[in-house]
Amino acid sequence: MTVNVLKALLEEKRLRSIHDVLSMYNPVDLAELLSELDDRELAMVFRILDKPKAAETFSYMDNDLRQELIKTFSSAEVKSLFEELFADDAADFLSDMPANFVTQLLENVDAETRKTINYLLQYPDDSVGSIMTVEFVELDPDMTVDSALEKIRRVGIDSETVYNCYAVKRHKLLGVVTVKDLLTHGREEPIAPLILGDYISIHTTDDREDAAKLFRKYGLISIPVVDTEGCIVGIVTFDDAIGVLTEETTEDMQKMAAMEANTEPYLKTPAWKHAKHRIVWLLVLMLSASITGAIISKYEAAFAAVPLLVSFIPMIMDTGGNCGSQSSTLIIRGLAVDELRFADTARIIWMELRVALLVGLGLAVADSAFIMLRYNDLRLAGVVSAAMLCTVVCAKVTGGLLPIAAKRLGLDPALMAAPLITTVVDTVAMFIYFTIASAVFAI
Amino acid sequence: MTVNVLKALLEEKRLRSIHDVLSMYNPVDLAELLSELDDRELAMVFRILDKPKAAETFSYMDNDLRQELIKTFSSAEVKSLFEELFADDAADFLSDMPANFVTQLLENVDAETRKTINYLLQYPDDSVGSIMTVEFVELDPDMTVDSALEKIRRVGIDSETVYNCYAVKRHKLLGVVTVKDLLTHGREEPIAPLILGDYISIHTTDDREDAAKLFRKYGLISIPVVDTEGCIVGIVTFDDAIGVLTEETTEDMQKMAAMEANTEPYLKTPAWKHAKHRIVWLLVLMLSASITGAIISKYEAAFAAVPLLVSFIPMIMDTGGNCGSQSSTLIIRGLAVDELRFADTARIIWMELRVALLVGLGLAVADSAFIMLRYNDLRLAGVVSAAMLCTVVCAKVTGGLLPIAAKRLGLDPALMAAPLITTVVDTVAMFIYFTIASAVFAI
């Protein structure tokens, strides 16, 4: 159904038909469709949907839209929405709202739900606590397969996933029981032998990115979250982990392009905010570039004598920057996906050195050929190619080294990317270039 | 257990103890541990493991290691390994091996397995077919919940996931039945009402990246793969999708840093291959930079008259490059995660224009202040800041426009990143800078 058809049906008050068609929709697609309605239409459609469908769709909607929508709700409607929402989705929605509005909304929900939501709201944004859910299936280790399945049948409908259940004794997590194991064993068998004791678990205060990486590494559906006493307090599910991995990668890319990390949608971020996220690094890098400028201005005599020297500045600077950013990108990404670590430093430098020599020689030869063909000036060809080779080696080693050094110092390796590397390499490159040029042209 | 302890136990032939300890390991961790053994030790340990554990561990091992290992296997051992492996893992392993070796290995396995593996091997690397598995649970739409659970109990152990089952009539896919629904409904109920008809499906020849994005968007555990007749031929599971998303992002980042995409591990790629992946773009960009050089050399008179002009070349070029790469990074990433689309072009340009004016004015003011303090030269300050402002505007608009134009032309937007943008912007920036300088200094 297109949004225009939906609007037309709303106009004609065909509420029954709208209900029937929208019931067939996946909540993700439904959220997308509803985002194109105006506030009044949205409020109407939302009330036509079945409560569970409405709540699930709500959890996929944009924050702005959700705020607008919930303002039109009666107390009873707020209560019913929060009863249907998974606690982590409710907390996720509330965490972006003004505190007084949150308090006001939570006045409408029952004490238990309020307690759970408040509990989840206390965790910082980048912690496991902020993405965990408290709706999971606990099993008693003395159960049989049949009684375990019976418990899942009873409480499963309110759990975010039933496929990993957790064997718990006095709140302590004993291990994981997969539904696959329950379903492929006899109903009278005890579940004790099915409890996997070597489970992966995480802590509420762990970094959510580290948790997400465990999902990628082990291919898990959910990971239990435990507190310092080893008691299970929640679970994180794979779909939240995929979201976290995507966001963290976006943030890495932004930092690598000399911006502050920002996961607000591009078109919904106001221009002044975009500018604010970008200008700090630009200023720092611009002023740093004046060092390169200062070096160049020291060699006024050189380019007064051989003006053509100036026209190779862009070529040497750009190539140096590109070489450095190639290396730093590979290392930053390698560190981010845990393929490289600090212990590899020597091997990385050795690799970059060899690559730099190969690439540098290739570029130097191409450069010489170009200069000989165009200017037929052997000395100039020699100067530019020698400077090129030295610049490439310096760029690749710097690009390989800085991200790993940053990691070691507890800084974010993503900061040591193209823009910073370029500025550093530029300075060195211009120094090398004019030193060689001065020597060769005996200026 | 550290690798040294394992080596010591092997030395003393404590095979029973090794078996007991390693049985407790997660196969991912086990693969990591075994990668530190030498070939002889690896072959020993692998034979100690239970067959299913061994096969699962095998599927997480490095390709080089797997090749070495399988060479030590007898025909019976090869047969047993391939019987335990999921067909997609087997095909994944074989797809990187020499064809004659594959034929030789497949001679050892039974006809059915060979047929399945050969079927999976036919799909190109970037297609859904290459990551799908053929081990899934089919249900008859006329079954009851109880008979469906009984079927899962029977065939589930050999399926990669049992949590989404597929209602199939004469090979045609009717819909998805989740185990959660089966478990939360009465055993005597028919499954027909539980069949979700509005399922997401993909085609064998679809791009695997598009499939992976569906997992991210809808938070699914598995997606059925259908052929042109709507018959189900396999499924893709979320853990494979996470792997694909990670690989595709790595490839995007490599392209954005002017390299050919390569997902071989960094340290296992030989230096000459690294060099090969990097040199092509470097050459192209280096020679393009000679255009900027040619522009500069046209203004010899300008920097002969005011030599200080040369020392601001790096500042203007670097800032232009950085501004362009900020914009292009945001747009490339926005396109990759489907947050931006071609229809947003006008809004993107309008946004970048406003951001560029804000950022450009800020930088111009900082620049003027810097030049006045350092050189107390009003004309120079005016020239540099005006050039800076124009460069920033040009860089941001170019950076915003090129990726989206590439997408429109069916090219990879990731190619329109920092390196290319920098080269384009450099040329324009130097032209602007010297044009303004010539006018102001009346050269």
pLDDT digits (tens, 9 = 90+) for B309-347: 888 999 999 899 999 999 999 999 999 888 899 999 999
- What are the chain A neighbours of B360 within 8 Å (beta carbons)? none
Q: What local confidence, expressed as pLDDT, does residue B443 receive?
A: 67
pLDDT digits (tens, 9 = 90+) for A372-384: 999 999 999 999 9
| B74 contact partners, CB below 8 Å, separation of at least 6 | none
Distance CA(A363)–CA(A360), nearest Å, equals 5
Distance CA(A150)–CA(A152), nearest Å, equals 5
DSSP string, A42-90: HHHHHHHS-HHHHHHHHHHS-HHHHHHHHHT--HHHHHHHHHHS-HHHH
Q: What local confidence, expressed as pLDDT, does residue B100 receive?
A: 77
Distance CA(B182)–CA(B285), nearest Å, equals 59
Residue with tokens 């089952």: B165
Ranking A351-360, A389-398, A409-418 by mean pLDDT, the lowest is A409-418
Closest CA to A200 of A128, A123, A249: A128
Q: What is the mean pLDDT of residues B67-92?
A: 84
Closest CA to A433 of A397, A399, A378, A389: A389
The pLDDT-based confidence of B18 (bands split at 50, 70, 90) is confident
Backbone torsions φ then ψ of A172, nearest 5 degrees: -75, 135
Q: What local confidence, expressed as pLDDT, does residue B147 receive?
A: 92
Inter-chain CB proximity B156 and A334 less than 8 Å: no
A274 to chain B, minimum CA–CA distance in Å? 6
Secondary structure (3-state) at A201: coil
Inter-chain CB proximity B318 and A267 less than 8 Å: no
With 80 as the cut, is the pLDDT of residue A1 above it? Answer: no
B100 to chain A, minimum CA–CA distance in Å? 31
Find residues 267-296 of chain A whose CB sits inside 8 Å of chain B. Answer: 267, 271-272, 274-275, 278-279, 281-283, 285-287, 289-290, 292-294, 296
Q: For chain B, how long is the longest CA-to-CA vector? A: 95
Secondary structure (3-state) at B188: coil
Residue with tokens 């649970």: B137
Secondary structure (3-state) at B135: coil
**Which residues are bridge partners to B396 per DSSP?**
none
- What are the chain A neighbours of B326 within 8 Å (beta carbons)? 257-259, 278, 282
- What are the chain A neighbours of B363 within 8 Å (beta carbons)? 279, 282-283, 286
Using the Cβ of A372 and the Cβ atoms of chain B, whether some distance falls under 8 Å is answered with: no
Q: Do you know the residue count of chain B?
A: 443
Residue with tokens 């932004």: A254
Find residues 377-416 of chain B whose CB sits inside 8 Å of chain A. Answer: none
In the sheet with B202-203, reading across from the earlier edge strand, the strands are B202-203, B222-226, B232-237
Distance CA(B85)–CA(B158), nearest Å, equals 10
pLDDT digits (tens, 9 = 90+) for A43-91: 888 888 888 888 889 888 888 888 888 888 888 888 888 888 888 888 8
Q: What local confidence, expressed as pLDDT, does residue A357 receive?
A: 95
Give the ranges where B122-237 is alpha helix by DSSP (H). 145-155, 179-183, 208-218
Secondary structure (3-state) at B421: helix
Minimal Cβ distance to A183: which of B152, B317, B325:
B152
Minimal Cβ distance to B319: which of A254, A286, A367:
A286
Nearest chain B alpha carbon to A287: B315
Using the Cβ of A315 and the Cβ atoms of chain B, whether some distance falls under 8 Å is answered with: yes
The pLDDT-based confidence of A433 (bands split at 50, 70, 90) is very high
Residues B277 and B259 sit within 8 Å (Cβ to Cβ): yes
Inter-chain CB proximity A266 and B370 less than 8 Å: no
Minimal Cβ distance to B318: which of A238, A250, A422:
A422
The pLDDT-based confidence of A401 (bands split at 50, 70, 90) is very high
Structure-derived torsion over alpha carbons of residues A255, A258, A259, A260, reported in degrees to the nearest 10 = 60
Burial of B13 (0-12, 13-18, 19+ CB in 10 A): exposed
pLDDT digits (tens, 9 = 90+) for B244-281: 999 999 999 898 888 888 888 888 889 999 999 999 98
The pLDDT-based confidence of A308 (bands split at 50, 70, 90) is confident
Q: What local confidence, expressed as pLDDT, does residue B264 receive?
A: 86
Q: What average pLDDT does chain A have?
A: 88
DSSP string, A398-428: HHHHHHHHHHHTTS-GGGSSHHHHHHHHHHH
pTM attached to this predicted model = 0.83
With 80 as the cut, is the pLDDT of residue A96 above it? Answer: no
Find residues 116-155 of chain A whose CB sits inside 8 Å of chain B. Answer: 149, 152-153
Q: Do you know the residue count of chain A?
A: 443
CA angle, B265 then B271 then B272, to 5°: 120
The pLDDT-based confidence of B145 (bands split at 50, 70, 90) is very high
Q: What is the mean pLDDT of residues A257-267?
A: 87
Q: Which of A189, A326, A434 to mutate to test the interface with B (most CBs of B within 10 A)?
A: A326
Q: Compute how many other C-beta atoms are within 10 angstroms of the C-beta atom of residue A286.
A: 23
Q: In b/e form, how buried is each residue of A127-153, taking b as 16+ CB within 10 angstroms?
A: bbbbbbbbbbbebeeebbbeebbebbb
| A187 contact partners, CB below 8 Å, separation of at least 6 | A144, A145, A146, A149
Inter-chain CB proximity A198 and B24 less than 8 Å: yes
Q: What is the mean pLDDT of residues B144-168?
A: 86
Q: What average pLDDT does chain B have?
A: 88
Residues A26 and A56 sit within 8 Å (Cβ to Cβ): no
Interface A-B, measured as beta-carbon pairs within 8 A, has a size of 341
Find residues 325-364 of chain B whose CB sits inside 8 Å of chain A. Answer: 325-326, 328-331, 333-334, 337, 339-340, 344, 347-348, 351, 354-355, 358-359, 362-363
Q: Which of A139, A180, A353 to mutate to test the interface with B (most CBs of B within 10 A)?
A: A180
Highest mean pLDDT among A78-92, A114-128, A400-414: A400-414
Write out the two tokens for A5.
Answer: 């058809």
DSSP β-ladder status, A172-178 and B222-226: unpaired
- What are the chain A neighbours of B254 within 8 Å (beta carbons)? 329-330, 333
- Cα A27 off chain centre by: 23
Inter-chain CB proximity A339 and B266 less than 8 Å: yes
- What are the chain B neighbours of A292 within 8 Å (beta carbons)? 314-315, 318
The pLDDT-based confidence of A289 (bands split at 50, 70, 90) is confident
Closest CA to B188 of B138, B155, B143: B143
Q: What local confidence, expressed as pLDDT, does residue A103 receive?
A: 80
Task: Return the amino acid letter for A196.
Answer: L
With 90 as the cut, is the pLDDT of residue A395 above it? Answer: yes
Closest CA to A281 of B354, B318, B365, B398: B318
Q: What local confidence, expressed as pLDDT, does residue A89 receive?
A: 85
With 90 as the cut, is the pLDDT of residue A396 above it? Answer: yes
Using the Cβ of B164 and the Cβ atoms of chain A, whether some distance falls under 8 Å is answered with: no
Inter-chain CB proximity B315 and A303 less than 8 Å: no
The pLDDT-based confidence of B67 (bands split at 50, 70, 90) is confident
Inter-chain CB proximity B315 and A354 less than 8 Å: no
Q: What local confidence, expressed as pLDDT, does residue B96 receive?
A: 76
Residue with tokens 């997606």: B223
With 90 as the cut, is the pLDDT of residue A224 above it? Answer: yes
Using the Cβ of A182 and the Cβ atoms of chain B, whether some distance falls under 8 Å is answered with: no
What percentage of chain A carries pLDDT values higher than 70? 100
- What are the chain A neighbours of B218 within 8 Å (beta carbons)? 26, 28
CA angle, B268 then B55 then A242, to 5°: 65
| A137 contact partners, CB below 8 Å, separation of at least 6 | A151, A152, A155, A156, A159, A162, A165, A166
CA angle, B142 then B144 then B149, to 5°: 120
- What are the chain B neighbours of A281 within 8 Å (beta carbons)? 322
Inter-chain CB proximity A363 and B279 less than 8 Å: yes
A101 to chain B, minimum CA–CA distance in Å? 29
Q: What local confidence, expressed as pLDDT, does residue B173 receive?
A: 92
Inter-chain CB proximity B313 and A296 less than 8 Å: yes
| A50 contact partners, CB below 8 Å, separation of at least 6 | A19, A23
Q: What local confidence, expressed as pLDDT, does residue A443 receive?
A: 67
- What are the chain B neighbours of A300 within 8 Å (beta carbons)? 307, 310
Residue with tokens 């060092």: A291
In the sheet with A202-203, reading across from the earlier edge strand, the strands are A202-203, A222-226, A232-237
B205 to chain A, minimum CA–CA distance in Å? 24
B75 to chain A, minimum CA–CA distance in Å? 30
Using the Cβ of A11 and the Cβ atoms of chain B, whether some distance falls under 8 Å is answered with: no
